[in-house]
Every structure is written in structure tokens, then in C-alpha cells.
Amino acid sequence: MPADVRALVAPTDTLLAYKAADLYRDGSWAAVIVVRHPASEMSDLDFDHNPCDLLVLRRERGKLVKVDHSKKAVDCTYNDVERHAPAMSLNDYLKVSPASIVFINQKARGNSTFYFAWSQKKAAWYLRRATATNVGDGADVNDVSVTDVSASYPKNFGWTPMSSVDPDAMADILNKLAK
């Protein structure tokens, strides 16, 4: 990992994931990192105080800059897996490729996934799709119920910049689609 990426992570923060790619299809260096900041009492209760960030980085004129972020795509508020994950242990949940960033929030009984895409026209990262898989108890003692649901832009929700992703609002949309 480049030293200037490591320099963006405060000593009290935990780097949970790092992936580099040609995100903009222009041959330039870019990367996505997931950082967990120290939790506070508020982060236990409120997604607005979520201690995790998904950051998009790009080298511009030789300097590393943050070009976008989401304070809510990585769930360290309600998700104990991510809240207590050791350094670099969420790398498998982060997928990056040209014009695409995917993060999977793995939970005890399912997952939720955010799919971001790069809009060349708007020069912005946006939410292209969100999915949820939930595993529950079936009708019988030995049954398992699996529910998969997906929502996409523009069919199920409006234009949503990466920095404006709201998992609670997206959960409402996914719940309505699952019924």
C-alpha cells in the first residue's frame, strides 16, 4: 500500500480495506479504502454517527486527494462484524473495477450490498443498485427462509450521490419490494 494512503489514516483509526484500480478508465491511479474511526456512545445508537467511512482516492497532479466518500455505506453501527473487524479484514467485501465500487455488509443472517457506479456525464459516483439477502427461520423447525431483494436506479429510487447514501431509506425501499 502506498505510504500516502497510509498517511490518510489517523493513528487511532483502523484501515479495514484497500483496493486500487483504474476507476476512471483513464489510466490514472485511484483507490478505495474503508476506515473505522474510534466508536463513540453515539455510534451505538445512531447511523449519523457511524464510525466507518468508505473513501475514494485519486492521484491528481502527483498528490493523493479524497474525491468522494460515504459515511453510511459501511455499517459499523448495527453490524458487529464490521464494528469489531481487525485491520484489513474487510478486503474481501470490497470490489473495485473501472467505473464500479461494490461493498458488501456481511451480517450474521444475511448481507446488504451497495453498488456504486461512476457517471462520466456528471463526474460523480452514485448508487446504481442496492441488494439485501436475509436468512430467517422457515415454517418448520428444519426450514430456512432466504429472501433476496434488489433495487436499482432509476427504476426504484432517484439519483443518489455516494455521499448521500442512506441505508435506512434504502432498507425501506427494499422492504417494500420484498412484499
Q: Are 21 and 33 in contact (CB under 8 A)?
A: no
| Average model confidence (pLDDT) across the chain | 90
pLDDT at res. 84: 85
Backbone dihedral angles phi then psi of residue 121, each to the nearest 5 degrees: -60, -45
Q: Residue 51's closest CA among 43, 61, 59?
A: 43
pLDDT at res. 96: 98
What pLDDT digit, counting tens, does each position of 66-110 carry? 999 999 999 988 788 888 899 999 999 999 999 999 999 998 888
Quote the CA–CA distance of 23 and 17 in Å, as a whole number: 16
Q: How many CA atoms lie within 13 A of 149 on its CB side?
A: 16
Q: Are 109 and 14 in contact (CB under 8 A)?
A: no
pLDDT at res. 167: 93
pLDDT at res. 144: 84
Quote the CA–CA distance of 129 and 157 in Å, as a whole number: 9
Q: Are 76 and 44 in contact (CB under 8 A)?
A: no
Report domain extents, the chain: 3-178
Q: Residue 36's closest CA among 50, 18, 19, 56?
A: 50
Q: What percent of the chain has pLDDT over 90?
A: 64
pLDDT at res. 104: 97
What pLDDT digit, counting tens, does each position of 118-158 carry? 999 999 999 999 999 988 877 777 788 888 999 999 999 99
